[in-house]
Amino acid sequence: MHSFTEENYLKAIYALTQKSDGEINTNAIAERVSTKAASVTDMLKKLAEKQLINYQKYQGVTLTEAGKKTALNIVRRHRLWEVFLVDKLGFGWHEVHTLAEELEHIKSDELIDKLEAFLGNPQVDPHGDPIPDHAGKMMHSSADKLSESAMNQAVVMTGVLEHSSAFLQYLEKIGLTLNTEITVQEANEFDQSLFISINAQPGLFISHEVAKNILVSAKE
Amino acid sequence: MHSFTEENYLKAIYALTQKSDGEINTNAIAERVSTKAASVTDMLKKLAEKQLINYQKYQGVTLTEAGKKTALNIVRRHRLWEVFLVDKLGFGWHEVHTLAEELEHIKSDELIDKLEAFLGNPQVDPHGDPIPDHAGKMMHSSADKLSESAMNQAVVMTGVLEHSSAFLQYLEKIGLTLNTEITVQEANEFDQSLFISINAQPGLFISHEVAKNILVSAKE
DNA sequence: AATATATTTTAGACTAGTCTAAAATATATT
DNA sequence: AATATATTTTAGACTAGTCTAAAATATATT
């Protein structure tokens, strides 16, 4: 069994790997787990010892198969708890991350499997991120950024690339939530801001910064 | 905020207080939190420092008001999670204690309040133990031991005094679960074993040891 | 290629919680 | 009341995880 702290490091390494394939460096991990580089080095030795990461001094880090499996399991737990918090307890999608960070460390496969069944075997969490199964497999969505979406073509919002509470609250306020139907009606060449319509209602402007953090898929 | 470990000590002291009013001694706590007396002494100093317990060297321990409030809050969390695990996820009443011991340490009043509402504001946990409210108040049940129940009088099972998995599984197997209607038909003078009928079905024998760990209330 | 800068690691110290063995105190027994 | 026994506390050491400051290495710049 891995400690609370070890799990957090693995999760951080996994998340960083997603963003930037290749080796992950010490400072990036330190920032993610809110600690100092020196502490990270200590933990990397420990994780390497346990065969969870490939680590050579000064050479950066990659997850081993075992490490990846563990990380995906944590992600699985995290996302299932998020679904529970939003769907069952009525939390907003911007409020659940911190709570799920605690809940994810409760280790019982039986608990998680029962939770999954209770939630109706959801494929994605409240932010549209896919939920890994036991084996670590998860849905691969073929989503595009709204900022790259074609004009006058109805698409459906399926995810976000930015998970900050501020961003999520803003989206909710202007009516951009998962499964919303969006049509880009105009793109401003100067700043790439978009004029869009939501669910066929009066449109609104969003900045490029916002548009590039929204994922959409073709309406099926 | 109190650490995971501090919470466990407070909970242990509270539980011991329930069983034996008066001061709680170091060894009893050590056994309950599975540690050594020396470690308990260290922690008692810390808890006294934080005004959670009244502690004088060699004199035993009592909870302060603040300590009691904290302990009741942990009990509240523990029992609500147990309801969730049994009612919503389908765990057996003998399986939930250990999981709830982990879940109870997740500290968010909002989470617990929402969980409580989601569960329909239950008054008791799956073992019939009352759930404290915010203020630490809880239902006071006027239950008797089945072993002291009057003959030929229908009563309802409302709780247990023994929470071991083995005992709970045994009760479930023979059909003794919460809210079961029980009538004592015969008492054996020699060993105080009882012949009882359950929900008006063919009767069965139970030992005195079992009967004295079952709580019943008058059928209303 | 030599040097400056940035990144990572090492060394040694700190905290929370635990332990063993010895010392101090309380309680039980005569 | 004196002594034996049981309980609790103290002293000092250990582990997991963290930190700062200095040393080692890698990368960027000239």
Give residue B217's pLDDT band: very low, low, confident or very high (50, 70, 90): very high
A29 closest-nt by C1' vs CA: C8
What tokens were used for A25? 């460096």
Predicted confidence at residue B203, as pLDDT, reads 87
Which of B3, B86, B102 to mutate to probe the A interface, most A CBs <10 Å? B102
Once rounded to an integer, what is the mean pLDDT over residues B70-82? 98
Using alpha carbons, select from B197, B203, B199, B206 the residue that is nearest to residue B147. B206
Q: At A156, is the secondary structure helix, strand, or coil?
A: strand
pLDDT tens track for B97-146 = 999 999 999 989 999 999 999 999 999 999 999 999 999 999 987 899 99
Once rounded to an integer, what is the mean pLDDT over residues B73-79? 98
Alpha helices in chain B (DSSP H): 4-20, 26-32, 37-49, 65-83, 96-103, 109-118, 165-174, 208-211
User: Which of B21-25, B69-73, B152-156 bottoms out in mean pLDDT, i.e. has the lowest?
Assistant: B21-25
What tokens were used for A47? 């994780």
pLDDT above 80 for A105: yes
Q: What does B134-197 look like in DSSP terms, one character per residue?
A: TTS-------EEGGGPPTT-EEEEEEES---HHHHHHHHHHT--TT-EEEEEEE-TTT--EEEE
State whether B118 and A89 contact (CB < 8 Å): yes
Q: What does A80-110 look like in DSSP terms, one character per residue?
A: HHHHIIIIIT---TTTHHHHHHHHTT---HH
pLDDT above 80 for B200: no
What count of other Cβ atoms lies within 10 Å of the Cβ of residue A94? 18
What tokens were used for A145? 């950024």
B43 CB and strand C closer than 7 A: yes
State whether B114 and A99 contact (CB < 8 Å): no
User: How far is the alpha carbon of B100 from chain A, nearest alpha carbon, in Å?
Assistant: 10
Radius of gyration of chain B (CA): 19
Report the share of chain A in percent with pLDDT over 90.
Answer: 91
Using alpha carbons, select from A125, A123, A193, A185 the residue that is nearest to residue A159. A125
Annotate B113-145 with b (16+ C-beta within 10 A) or e (fewer): ebbbebeeebebbbbbbbbbeeeeebeeeebee
Once rounded to an integer, what is the mean pLDDT over residues B39-56? 97
Give residue A180's pLDDT band: very low, low, confident or very high (50, 70, 90): very high
pLDDT above 80 for A119: yes
Predicted confidence at residue A200, as pLDDT, reads 77
Alpha helices in chain A (DSSP H): 4-20, 26-32, 37-49, 65-83, 96-103, 109-118, 165-173, 208-211
Provide the sign of the torsion angle of the four alpha carbons B158, B163, B167, B172, taken in this order. Answer: positive
Q: Which residue has the tokens 């197997």?
A: B173
pLDDT tens track for A136-174 = 999 987 899 999 999 999 999 999 999 999 999 999 999
A45 CB and strand C closer than 7 A: yes
State whether B111 and A90 contact (CB < 8 Å): no
C-alpha A112: how far from its chain's center? Answer: 19
Angle between helices A65-83 and A96-103 in degrees, nearest 10: 130
CA A135/CA B127 separation, integer angstroms: 35
Q: At B217, is the secondary structure helix, strand, or coil?
A: strand
Give residue B219's pLDDT band: very low, low, confident or very high (50, 70, 90): confident
Do the Cβ atoms of B44 and B26 come closer than 8 Å?
yes
Q: What does A168-190 look like in DSSP terms, one character per residue?
A: HHHHHHTT--TT-EEEEEEE-TT
Position B48, amino acid: A
List all residues 6 or more positions away from A77 whose beta carbon is below 8 Å from its beta carbon. A103, A104, A105, A106, A112
Which residues lie across from A159 on neighbouring strands? A215
Once rounded to an integer, what is the mean pLDDT over residues A190-210? 92
